[in-house]
């Protein structure tokens, strides 16, 4: 399958992105989750540059530059500034499901993604799509799972951003000629998401003294038997 060197390297990056997604599920500290997120974003950038080089597409170069400035530099910096040190470095994240079970579910999601996206990818007859589409979908699903399995605000936020990484990984393969303006707008949007969520987290912490999303449990309907 590997046709050229950039393609083979891209396949390597995609594989490592999937591993980074698993690592994010397996990590217990906020700092670790953020670090693996940075690694994943760097790999995504590499994938963008590789495809941008091999396809000669300016859009992909731009997207790579945006990814590195937003997700590798800006967002981790904002998080570090906003969060108190002991929370960031030491506290364990409370999980709904224990980590081995969580990893097993992530694995099942990755297999499901392969089965869902595989037939679609074979339509295109492009080896890059064949690699990036299933792994991108797996990234989205695993990100969604880590969002559900975790009870704290920052890991949830990183989960959303990891989902976005997955969507972009598929995107660089299937929509590499996307108009530049749309990419710029999307990038601005990603930064805005992080800023808004960061602001909200800070106000929540100032008001409640915790960022455990589970502590936010006041608004509920009365329990109903069939639910």
Residue 56's Cβ-count burial label (10 Å; 0-12, 13-18, 19+) is exposed
Contact range with other proteins by CB under 8 A, out of 10-18, 58-66, 69-77, 188-196: 188-196
199-206 contacts, C-beta under 8 A, 24 or more apart = 200/153, 201/82, 201/83, 201/153, 201/154, 201/157, 202/82, 204/153
The string of DSSP letters for 138-164 reads: HHHHHHHHHHHHB-BHHHHHHHHHHHH
**CA proximity to 57, closest of 204, 224, 173, 153:** 173
The answer to whether residue 204 forms part of the interface with other proteins (CB under 8 A) is: yes
Contact range with other proteins by CB under 8 A, out of 18-26, 31-39, 69-77, 191-199: 191-199
Question: Alpha-carbon distance 3 to 9, whole Å?
Answer: 11
Number of residues that bind other proteins (CB under 8 A): 49
Contact range with other proteins by CB under 8 A, out of 46-54, 79-87, 98-106, 214-222: 214-222
Contact range with other proteins by CB under 8 A, out of 23-31, 44-52, 105-113, 157-165: 157-165
Shortest CB 22 distance to other proteins, Å: 18
> Per-residue x/- marks for other proteins, 78-117, CB under 8 A?
----------------------------------------
**CA proximity to 201, closest of 157, 139, 140, 167:** 157
**CA proximity to 163, closest of 183, 188, 193, 185:** 193
Which CB atom, from 6 or from 159, has the smaller least distance to other proteins? 159
Please give the residue ranges that form the binding site for other proteins (CB under 8 A): 119-120, 123-124, 136-137, 140, 143-144, 147, 153, 156, 160, 163-164, 166-168, 170-171, 174-175, 177-179, 181-182, 185-186, 188-189, 192-193, 196-197, 199-200, 203-204, 207-208, 213, 216-219, 221-222, 224
């Amino acid at each position: 399958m590997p046709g050229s060197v950039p393609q083979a390297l891209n396949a390597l990056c995609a594989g490592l992105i999937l591993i980074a997604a698993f690592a994010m599920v397996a990590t217990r500290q906020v700092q670790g989750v953020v670090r693996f997120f940075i690694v994943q974003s760097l790999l995504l950038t590499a994938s963008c540059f590789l495809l941008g080089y091999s396809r000669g597409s300016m859009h992909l170069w731009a997207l790579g530059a945006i990814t590195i400035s937003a997700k590798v530099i800006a967002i981790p910096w904002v998080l570090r500034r906003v969060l108190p040190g002991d929370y960031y470095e030491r506290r364990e994240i409370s999980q709904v499901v224990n980590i081995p079970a969580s990893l097993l579910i992530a694995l099942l999601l990755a297999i499901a993604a392969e089965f869902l996206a595989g037939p679609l990818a074979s339509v295109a007859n492009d080896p890059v799509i064949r690699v990036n589409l299933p792994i991108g979908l797996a990234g989205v699903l695993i990100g969604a799972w880590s969002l559900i399995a975790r009870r704290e605000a920052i890991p949830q936020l990183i989960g959303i951003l990891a989902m976005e990484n997955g969507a972009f990984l598929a995107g660089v393969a299937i929509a590499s000629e996307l108009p530049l303006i749309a990419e710029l707008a999307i990038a601005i949007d990603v930064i805005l998401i992080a800023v808004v969520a960061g602001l909200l987290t800070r106000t929540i912490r100032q008001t409640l003294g915790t960022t455990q999303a589970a502590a936010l449990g006041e608004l509920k309907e009365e329990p109903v038997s069939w639910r």
